[in-house]
Amino acid sequence: MTDAPAADIRPAAPRRLLVALIVTELMITFALATPLVATLGLKVQEIAPDRKEQVLATVMAVGSIAALLLNPVFGHLSDRTTGRFGRRRPWIAGGLVVGLPAGAVMATAHSTTQLVLGWLLAQAAYNAALAALSAVIADRVPPAQQATMSGLFGAAGFAGVVPGLVLVGTIPGNTTALFLIPAAIGALGAVLAWLLLREPAVPGGAGRAAKAVNLRSVLGSLLFDPRTSPAFTVVWCQRFLLQFANALIGAYGLYFLMARLDMSVSEAAALVSATGLVSLAGNVLAAAVFGRVASRTGAYRALVVGSGTLMTAAMVIKMFSASVWPVYLATAVAAVGLGAFYAVDLALVLRVMPDGGDSARYLGVFNIAKALPQTLAPVLAPVLLALGSDPVGASAEKNYFALFLGGAVAALLATALTPLIRHPRLVRD
């Protein structure tokens, strides 16, 4: 029988720390998401208009792979950092500062190679900051506050997309400013993080010599043993499956509306924008509200079941959608479901991940479950779309019924895994 862990008697985290975590997450997301939502596409249109689809796909793929690998590696390096400035603050502030020259490289790009190099540097910079920032919650926020912090952290991650969308809508033709402004705001975030995320000095010496960084430790930071951490494995799989369901349909939203609802490109684009705002509002609101609910009740697993059920229901609604309002309904249901999940999954994984002082490394591995589906889903989606004809809607060219069925199965499987999450730290549900 596994002994219950000792009670965590850390005092409540100061409000200044919580605000600094939320604002820093908001700034990192703004700097990283703005190129993803629009700026890279606009720059590719400038430098390779005749091959824009292929070039953008290449840039995005390279960035996704970099994020996949670099987040746990930087988390591992943060765990092993010693010095007077602590383990996390140098990586957070350093990553945000390096994001500025990365933005300059992309802003001045005249070739695909330069754009790829700039995007790689940006991914390295911001993933270093993200890996260390998440670990601050594990290090310095006691369990009683972690669910609330998880919800607010998730809400900040969703809300960080908004300034980028506003900026793109304000100056759509100035790609130089679109790259440099978010990067400059991120660099200002480095000052905030340096001043407000102070932490105790970490001594070096023999106590940490056994955890020296080397090639083997860096490669090992990408992996974990499911046999020794079964609860962590289940939570990892749930995040992967729910993110996979979301990513499976996300990239084809425009084409779905054109096929199912027989819309023109401009009509479909307008509806995508409108549903995007609905989704964002639902994500932010659900993450903030359900994070607080989880903090008060401790019912993490119950909230995971609820969020997975909502995601499954949204997929089923879209399977049969042939008009505008079911699309809005499915979008709202999915937004609440995904927002609720990201409100509790960070607090949940903090309770079930292995001990040993490697919190940033394990959180980096956990982030692979969010990044990997964005690479795999575009590969599988065309296979599902090619499975016969769509039984719903005006067009029979692509089988969107099968695509959403695949998403529903993934979300339902994630929900069904919940009873397997067993850990001594989970005692209230």
Q: CB neighbours (10 Å) of residue 278?
A: 16
* pLDDT score recorded for residue 207: 46
Length of the chain equals: 429
**Under a CB-based contact definition with an 8 Å cutoff, are residues 172 and 57 in contact?**
no
What integer pLDDT is reported at residue 364 of this predicted model? 83
The model scores a pTM over 0.85: no
Question: Can you tell me the distance from the alpha carbon of 21 to that of 23, in angstroms, rounded to the nearest whole number?
Answer: 6
pLDDT of residue 426: 65
The ranges of the chain with pLDDT < 70 are 1-10, 203-217, 220-221, 251, 356-357, 393-396, 424-429
Helix, strand, coil proportions of the chain in percent (round to 5)? 75, 0, 25
Q: Which pLDDT score, from 0 to 100, does residue 204 have?
A: 61
Interval 352-373: pLDDT, tens: 887 766 788 888 888 888 878 8
- Domains, in order of start, for the chain: 12-201+217-223 (1.20.1250.20), 224-429 (1.20.1250.20)
Which pair of tokens denotes residue 108?
């001045």
What is the model's pLDDT at position 4?
A: 46
Q: How far apart are CA 68 and CA 222, in angstroms?
A: 9
Q: What pLDDT was estimated at residue 17?
A: 87
- In angstroms, rounded to a whole number, what is the distance separating the alpha carbons of residues 310 and 411? 9
- pLDDT attached to residue 307: 93
Task: Find out whether 237 and 414 touch, Cβ atoms under 8 Å.
Answer: yes
Q: Which residues contact 360 (CB under 8 A, 6 or more apart)?
A: 74, 75, 76, 78, 79, 87, 88, 131, 132, 134, 135, 138
pLDDT attached to residue 2: 44
Picking from 247, 298, 314, the residue whose alpha carbon sits closest to that of residue 290 is: 298
